Structure 1
Amino acid sequence: MSVSIAYYITGHGYGHTVRSMEIIKELFRRRPDATVHVRTSAAAWLFEELRFFHFHYHATRLDVGALQSTSYNVDRAATLAAYADLIERKQKLLDQEIAFLTQEKITAIVSDITPLAFAAAAALRLPAIAEANFTWDWIYQEWLADFPHYAPVIDDIRADYRRADLLLRLPFHGDMSVFSNIVDLPLVARRSSLTRQQARDRLADYVDVKKKIILLGLRQADISHVPAAALTQLTDWHFITTSPALQAGTITCIPEGRLPFQDMVRGCDVILSKPGYSMVAEVIANQTPLVYVTRNDFCEDPILRQALNRYAVCEEMSMEDFNAGHWQEALQKIAAKPALWPFIANHGAETAAERILEYVK
Structure 2
Amino acid sequence: MSAPYLFVDVSAHGFGHLAQVAPVLNALSARLPTLRITLRSGLPTSKLRARVAADFTHLAESSDFGYVMHDAVSVDLAATALAYRQQHADWETRVDRDARLFAALRPDLVLSDVAYLPLAGAARAGIPSLAMCSLNWAELFVHFFAGERWAAAIHRQMLAAYNSAESFLRLTPAMAMADLARRRCIGPIAVIGSDCRQALREQLGAVPDERLILIAFGGVSKELPLADWPHLAGVRWLVPQAWQFENERCTAFESLGRPFADLLRSVDAVITKPGYGTFTEAACNGRPVLYVRRQDWPEQDCLIDWLHGHGRCREISDADLVAGRLQGPLDALWQQRTQPAPSPSGAEEAVAALLPWLAGGDAVGIADRQLLEGAPCKFTANPI
Judge same fold: TM > 0.5, yes or no: yes
Q: Which residue of 2 aligns with 1:240?
A: 238
Deviates more, 1:33-42 or 1:93-102: 93-102
1:358 is the counterpart of 2:356: yes
Q: Which residue of 2 aligns with 1:167?
A: 168
State the 1:335 CA deviation.
1.8
| Aligned AA (1:28) | S
| Aligned AA (1:348) | G
Q: Which residue of 2 aligns with 1:215?
A: 214
Q: Which residue of 2 aligns with 1:153?
A: 154
State the 1:88 CA deviation.
2.0
Q: Which residue of 1 aligns with 2:82?
A: 81
2:228/2:323 contact within 8 Å kept: no
State the 1:121 CA deviation.
1.2
State the 1:329 CA deviation.
1.4
Residues 94-144 of structure 1 deviation map (CA, whole Å, 9 limit, x = unaligned): 232222212222111111111011111111221111111111011121212
State the 1:245 CA deviation.
2.0
| Aligned AA (1:223) | E
State the 1:240 CA deviation.
0.6
1:204 is paired with a residue of what secondary structure? Answer: helix
2:6/2:37 contact within 8 Å kept: yes
1:80/1:153 contact within 8 Å kept: no
Deviates more, 1:13-22 or 1:148-157: 148-157
2:79 is paired with a residue of what secondary structure? Answer: helix
Structural RMSD (CA): 2.1
Identify if the C-alpha distance between structure 1 residues 17 and 257 changes in structure 2 by more than 3 Å, giving closer, same or farther.
farther
1:63/1:83 contact within 8 Å kept: no
Distance 1:171 1:4 in 2: 27
Distance 2:51 2:65 in 1: 25
1:59 is the counterpart of 2:64: no
Q: Which residue of 2 aligns with 1:108?
A: 109
Residues 33-74 of structure 1 deviation map (CA, whole Å, 9 limit, x = unaligned): 011111122222122258874411101221120111211110
2:274/2:304 contact within 8 Å kept: yes
Identify if the C-alpha distance between structure 1 residues 319 and 6 changes in structure 2 by more than 3 Å, giving closer, same or farther.
same
Q: Which residue of 2 aligns with 1:48?
A: 49
1:223/1:323 contact within 8 Å kept: no
1:158 is paired with a residue of what secondary structure? Answer: helix
2:229 is paired with a residue of what secondary structure? Answer: helix
Deviates more, 1:200-209 or 1:68-77: 200-209
2:25/2:52 contact within 8 Å kept: no
**TM, length-normalised to structure 2:** 0.86
Distance 2:220 2:112 in 1: 29
Identify if the C-alpha distance between structure 1 residues 344 and 163 changes in structure 2 by more than 3 Å, giving closer, same or farther.
same
1:70/1:222 contact within 8 Å kept: yes
2:20/2:133 contact within 8 Å kept: no
| Aligned AA (2:19) | V
Aligned length: 355
Distance 1:283 1:151 in 2: 38
Q: Which residue of 2 aligns with 1:16?
A: 17
Q: Which residue of 2 aligns with 1:259?
A: 258
Residues 308-335 of structure 1 deviation map (CA, whole Å, 9 limit, x = unaligned): 1100101111122112221121111112
Same amino acid, percent of matched pairs:
22
Structure 2 unaligned blocks of 5 or more? 361-384
| Aligned AA (2:356) | E
